[in-house]
Amino acid sequence: MIKRRASRPVQIGDVTVGGAADVVVQSMTKTDTRDVKSTVAQIDQLAEHGCGIARLAVPDMEAAEALVDIKGKSSLPIIADIHFDYRLALHAMESGVDGLRLNPGNIRDPEHIKKVVQVAKEREVPIRVGVNAGSLPPLAEGEARGSHVERMVDAAMGKIQLLESLDFELIKVSVKAFDVLDTIDANKALAERIPYPIHLGITEAGTPRKGTIRSATGIGILLYEGIGDTIRVSLTGDTVEEVLTGYEILKSLNLSNRGPTLVSCPTCGRTEVDLVPLVNAVEERLAKMEKSIKVAVMGCVVNGPGEAKDADVGLACGRGRGVIFKKGEKILTVEEKDFLEALMAEVEAF
């Protein structure tokens, strides 16, 4: 059982981040924010797969202006991701967004931040101080170049202290790097120093295979240490995949039981069916399901049921025929052509 670090909760629309709330899986839309229709459609897709919060890039005023329309149609709370121009943050808040992400590396003028904070306070819009290793504030003249980790933590702390000095505490924080160890060290250092919720992620983690591994390692280790209130998996790929991967990380640590868990064997010399396409088809059918159920698809009738004895519903495939079992007990024999439908019928009825 993981003992989570206590944090001060903030509210992003109707979603609580921090405190006693479950770890929230969030993602970013990959559409052009100025394209309202596509962006709203992608938000709906994220929501269907259990995403809790959608973050949207706001690269210019036209994108900021689109937010009011998007917000009116969005099925999820929205966070505006702001870099460089504080006026975009002001406009995003006027459009009704539920949260802001500011990058301390490129919004640095305290006067600009004051203006943002004033409106954020009035509208009770939480601000994430989102530090990225790739866009740290430049060193002041004569300032010693510390380690990457120190510079990330300093950048976050500097901005947090500025927000606190303005009597603003609706804060979330993230420190992300491509380097997994730097991300872990920076988050651990930060977690000891602040009471605010922490958003975890490995930035620019890469294509789905690499990105999933780097994210699972970095985010997983921190979650295991009790650190992290919301997570975003960054993949060079489908945004829905980010959400599904996020849930797999949480489920592997028993921090979520949302949706089905698929157990499948690696196949071996005993396998007597073409298991991989079958498992992929099952995975696809399970992806949108919300019920918590453990489903097993195994490549043989000899070891299959035993290997998947914890599953709620399982299929052990033999040559031409297979056995469906519930909680490890055999309930049905099915023909190979019916494997998928017969298994899914049992899953749906469970």
Q: Are 249 and 268 in contact (CB under 8 A)?
A: no
Report CA torsion sign: 171, 15, 136, 250: positive
Least distance in angstroms from the C-beta of 75 to ligand SF4: 40
Least distance in angstroms from the C-beta of 245 to ligand SF4: 24
Site membership for ligand SF4, residue 270 (CB under 6 A): yes
Q: State the binding string over 247-266 for ligand SF4 (x if CB under 6 A, else -).
A: ------------------xx
Residue from 298, 311, 313, 343 in contact with ligand SF4 (CB under 6 A): 298
End-to-end CA distance of the chain: 27
Least distance in angstroms from the C-beta of 270 to ligand SF4: 4
Q: Among residues 140 and 268, whose Cβ is nearest to ligand SF4? A: 268
Q: Among residues 252 and 267, whose Cβ is nearest to ligand SF4? A: 267
Residue from 206, 303, 328, 345 in contact with ligand SF4 (CB under 6 A): 303
3 state DSSP class of 26: strand
Q: Among residues 231 and 262, whose Cβ is nearest to ligand SF4? A: 262
Least distance in angstroms from the C-beta of 286 to ligand SF4: 19
- CA-nearest of 315, 330, 329 to 272 is 315
Site membership for ligand SF4, residue 291 (CB under 6 A): no
Residues 6+ away with beta carbon under 8 Å from 48: 288
Site membership for ligand SF4, residue 324 (CB under 6 A): no
Q: What letter does residue 4 receive in the DSSP assignment?
A: P
Q: Among residues 63 and 298, whose Cβ is nearest to ligand SF4? A: 298
Least distance in angstroms from the C-beta of 277 to ligand SF4: 15
Q: Is 267 left (phi over 0), alpha (psi -120 to 50) or beta?
A: left
Site membership for ligand SF4, residue 300 (CB under 6 A): yes
Least distance in angstroms from the C-beta of 264 to ligand SF4: 8
Least distance in angstroms from the C-beta of 208 to ligand SF4: 24
Q: Are 203 and 231 in contact (CB under 8 A)?
A: no
SS3 content of the chain, % helix, strand, coil (to 5): 40, 20, 40
3 state DSSP class of 324: strand
Phi/psi for 341 (5° steps) reads -65, -40
Site membership for ligand SF4, residue 299 (CB under 6 A): yes
Q: Among residues 112 and 326, whose Cβ is nearest to ligand SF4? A: 326
Residue from 81, 271, 313, 318 in contact with ligand SF4 (CB under 6 A): 271
Report CA torsion sign: 239, 83, 53, 262: positive
Q: What token pair was written down for 188?
A: 């651990």
3 state DSSP class of 250: helix
Site membership for ligand SF4, residue 304 (CB under 6 A): yes
Q: Among residues 216 and 296, whose Cβ is nearest to ligand SF4? A: 296
Q: How many residues touch ligand SF4 (CB under 6 A)? A: 12
Site membership for ligand SF4, residue 268 (CB under 6 A): yes
Q: State the binding string over 164-203 for ligand SF4 (x if CB under 6 A, else -).
A: ----------------------------------------
3 state DSSP class of 229: coil
Q: What token pair was written down for 88?
A: 């975009």
Site membership for ligand SF4, residue 307 (CB under 6 A): yes
d(CA 11, CA 15): 6
Q: Are 168 and 120 in contact (CB under 8 A)?
A: yes
Question: Could you list the residues that contact ligand SF4 (CB under 6 A)?
Answer: 265-268, 270-271, 298-300, 303-304, 307
